[in-house]
Amino acid sequence: MQLSSILRPAAVKVVANVSSKKRLFQDLGDIVAGTYGLDAAAAFAALQERENLGPTGVGHGIALPHARMPGLDHVVGAFLRIEKPVDFDSVDRQPVDLVFALFAPDGSGVEHLKALALVSRTMRDPGVMAKLRANTDPETLHTILTEDHATRAA
């Protein structure tokens, strides 16, 4: 599995400001609706439901929200780089500026976990984090995320 099979270039965005975690989830819902044809409200609700189980802010300014949704046949992703970090109830209490969201089909156990592990490894790489924070062009961000050296199979 590679990130290029999960993340389309159109699902990579840079936003100046997000007022709240709820607004962030709404933005992610809009992105996956426009890029993958998912229902924006259903994507938002799925993210909210998963977040209620425990925060997906993993620390160091990174959040990995994820949810399962009916109607998907494979895992898809969306990435946001937020210029003004937003409070996310992260484990280290730091605001978030890099968000990689995953949406998996209902009943996709192993595929969802492999995708989450792949994204987690990629986003924990200090070199990748630095490059993501140093760039504001969505195409460049997509390239950074999908480079082979950063996306070895899970």
| Active-site residue, 149 included | no
d(CA 46, CA 116): 16
- The answer to whether 38 and 32 are in contact (CB under 8 A) is yes
Looking up tokens 């620390």 gives 59
DSSP E strand stretches across the chain: 12-17, 57-59, 62-63, 66-69, 76-86, 96-105
User: How far, in Å, are 24, 66, 103, 139 from residue 113 at the CA level?
Assistant: 23, 10, 11, 26
Q: Taking a C-beta distance cutoff of 8 angstroms, is the pair 3, 142 a contact?
A: no
Point out the catalytic residue in the list 60, 66, 142, 149: 66
Q: Report which of 95, 110, 85 is spatially closest to residue 1, judged by C-alpha positions.
A: 110
Active site residues: 66
